[in-house]
Amino acid sequence: MSTSGKQLFTTLESDGTLTVAIEDVTFPAPSGNQVLVKMEAAPINPSDLVILAGAADLENADYRNGKFVATVPEPFNTGSKARHGLKLPAGNEGAGTVVASGDSDLAKALVGQRVACVPGNAYSQYCIADAALCLPLGDYSAEDGASAFVNPMTALGFVENAKMDGQNAILHTVGASNLGQMLTRICTEDGIGLVNIVRKDSQVALLEKLGSTHVVNSSEDEFMGRLRSAIDDTGAFYGFDPIGGGQTVDTVFRAMEQVAIGKMTEYSRYGSSQQKRMFIYGRLDLGPTILSPGYGTAWTLSGWLLFPFLQSIGMENVDRMRQRVLKNLTTTFASSYKKRVNLEEMLTKEALTDYRAMRTGEKYLVTPWS
Amino acid sequence: MSTSGKQLFTTLESDGTLTVAIEDVTFPAPSGNQVLVKMEAAPINPSDLVILAGAADLENADYRNGKFVATVPEPFNTGSKARHGLKLPAGNEGAGTVVASGDSDLAKALVGQRVACVPGNAYSQYCIADAALCLPLGDYSAEDGASAFVNPMTALGFVENAKMDGQNAILHTVGASNLGQMLTRICTEDGIGLVNIVRKDSQVALLEKLGSTHVVNSSEDEFMGRLRSAIDDTGAFYGFDPIGGGQTVDTVFRAMEQVAIGKMTEYSRYGSSQQKRMFIYGRLDLGPTILSPGYGTAWTLSGWLLFPFLQSIGMENVDRMRQRVLKNLTTTFASSYKKRVNLEEMLTKEALTDYRAMRTGEKYLVTPWS
């Protein structure tokens, strides 16, 4: 028995032509530990956008019903060489109802249940998913559960990683994002200090309402001084940044070093011995990361990705984190959406241009049967 | 009893005026574990230049006998804010003869011996040094022992750090430097793979003569392809860079990632899972470090400094490393010098301009009694 439905595919050719289209496909019957999920809702996260649109020229693209063809400029096209010619699905996560299963007990037990899943092809009417990675949603709606994985586990992952590294404070460069709001709530619950950087007064108010005690607005003249004070107050020499390009990380390292230098009693040409640690976990800015020589030698910058982190901490810890997410799905880990679109609607110029801007609080939800 | 002699001091004022001068000073009698060393030779290392001249405008400086006054331009002056108004000694390391000691047995045992030491004010006729950090040189000359610490321990430190991190290959971005030559000999002795990047054909020949099997010349058209081959052959996803500014590290990360991507059987939008690790241990280029988004998320870049590293590995390991250096001081760990200058001569325009250029194989040695 097989099932038919619509699914999104994205293909980048070596000449930079990006084709994203909805196609009719046949889904195989699930086997073993697999389940077949009828998808009801899937968010468009920044990590999905990399593969969905990337740096493509959306202004001059060709839009038809359920399809667009655009050009990816250099150096981004060459930078994506590894995917040239590959026809790829998209959509990390989503939620839906299990309509069929393989013959393992774990898989069979999920039939009829609503689950959150991480199939990698969530922009689809059906997905094959691993039963072990499905999270039964109980009474939660598919919309409640659609974003149960990427943002919640990333925000929790930051706190877990910080605790593992002996830190009791974190800095986050995009405080008011959906993920940033979750991180604010988690840090409050766990008694972890948090410095939130935002760009607008309204975002300061939003985070203070959530209980954030150290919100600094990068648009203000007094930004550097306030950032230093917040770092000094909390002891946050450890932070996460989803912007990547430009000087955000550089600014944070400089502020951290200035705080550390202020506590030194003797000058050292090598700067402070205070270890400063930043992680880049996204690329909202595709430009290069600029690091100026101004914070000595005691600093480390890394990329950060959820899946390898989860692998590194083991299944028991991952399960503990997921149960925490499930228990608090509509409170601590709540997501909100600006708009719902079906598979065809998500490929219109209007929708693409709007969600690729990745503005704070303007996330889209794909509802493939609407 | 006290001793008089000449010593170099460097002072940077908040307006950017850098004054470096030789002064007559009185050295106190050593106490406890201290010894008084009559200095015979001290190298000018890149790490000394930071404090000695930094980014000062040497072309338009005022040079008088045993003194120069120059202007440090922005942003370097503000970047050195922590030292504004401080009168600092200079010279990390050197060698000389112990002429007096405190009353500890360790200190007393050194009287009359020639030692290598790390006093921090080695550009001086006398230094107070910690007996525990002095390395008795036996039959070696002061010139042989002058550079027994910084370069040898740094090169050995790279190999120790790599081994601690489970690596069996290293990449070095300045292969032909004095330190790079030591690293080449150490890696050969220890069976550690090594990728040496150089800029000239003559440097390729030099390193191949030392037994280096993977030397790549960044001036050649085929550089990137050869760098990838060398990384692939050796498995060097772990490296050290003293340049800091510009795109050296970026180029290395890109080459490492391309090698890793070439081994993947399935495309991932997040790049390879191959961990790539680079350390910046100097700032030959004072410009910003540029990191382009082209090597996924599995990368880490850190500053690296010798003293904190040695502290982290414990005294027993440090002693083992120092004994290895001593045993092979004129072979594996040999340094060579372009020129010898006394304290006054090292502050002439000709000398300063020459040694601040930090050209490969053109190190200066300060001989304060000549």
Domains of chain B: residue spans and CATH: 3-147+335-366 (3.90.180.10), 151-308 (3.40.50.720)
Tell me which chain B residues have a C-beta less than 8 angstroms from the C-beta of A51: 269
Least CB–CB distance from A291: residue in B267, B271, B289? B289
Share of chain A above pLDDT 90, in %: 88
Residue A266 has pLDDT above 90, yes or no: no
Q: Are strands A238-241 and A169-172 parallel, antiparallel or unpaired?
A: parallel
Q: What is the per-residue pLDDT for A80?
A: 85
Q: Do B304 and A297 touch (CB under 8 A)?
A: yes
Q: What is the per-residue pLDDT for A138?
A: 95
Write down the pTM of the prediction.
0.93
Where residue B1 falls among pLDDT bands split at 50, 70, 90? low
In the beta sheet, which residues pair with residue B8?
A: B22
pLDDT tens column, A322-338: 999 999 999 999 998 99
Average pLDDT over residues B66-80: 91
> In Å, how far is B118's CA from the nearest CA of chain A?
15
Q: Do B302 and A300 touch (CB under 8 A)?
A: yes
Q: Is the peptide bond before B293 cis (omega within 30 degrees of 0)?
A: no
Where residue B359 falls among pLDDT bands split at 50, 70, 90? confident
Does ipTM surpass 0.90 in this model? yes
Tell me which chain B residues have a C-beta less than 8 angstroms from the C-beta of A292: 75, 288-289
**CA separation for the pair A39, A93 (Å, rounded):** 10
| A160-193: burial string, b at 16+ Cβ within 10 Å, e else | bbbeeeebebbbbbbbbbbbbbbbbbbbeeeebb
Least CB–CB distance from B273: residue in A75, A283, A308? A308
Q: From chain B, which residues contact A within 8 Å (Cβ)?
A: 47, 50-51, 75, 79, 82-83, 86, 88, 244-245, 250, 261, 264, 267, 269-271, 273, 280-281, 283, 286-294, 296-305, 307-308
Query: Taking all residues of chain A, what is their mean pLDDT, rounded to a whole number?
Result: 95
Residue among B345, B336, B361 nearest B147 (CA): B336
> In Å, how far is B121's CA from the nearest CA of chain A?
13
pLDDT tens column, A301-329: 999 999 999 999 998 999 999 999 999 99
Alpha carbon distances (Å) from B356 to B76, B87, B94, B123, B350 = 16, 21, 19, 16, 10
Query: Are B296 and B256 a contacting pair, CB within 8 Å?
Result: no
Q: Residue A75: closest CA among chain B residues belongs to which residue?
A: B294
pLDDT tens column, B314-344: 989 999 999 999 999 999 999 989 999 999 9
Sign of the CA dihedral running B252, B325, B308, B91: negative
Tell me which chain B residues have a C-beta less than 8 angstroms from the C-beta of A246: none
How many CB atoms neighbour CB A82 within 10 A? Answer: 18
Q: CA A345, A346, A347: angle at the middle one, nearest 5?
A: 90
In the structure encoding, which two tokens stand for residue A247, read together? 């000087």
Tell me which chain B residues have a C-beta less than 8 angstroms from the C-beta of A290: 288-291
Q: From chain A, which residues contact B within 8 Å (Cβ)?
A: 47, 50-51, 75, 79, 82-83, 86, 88, 244-245, 250, 261, 264, 267, 269-271, 273, 280-281, 283, 286-294, 296-305, 307-308
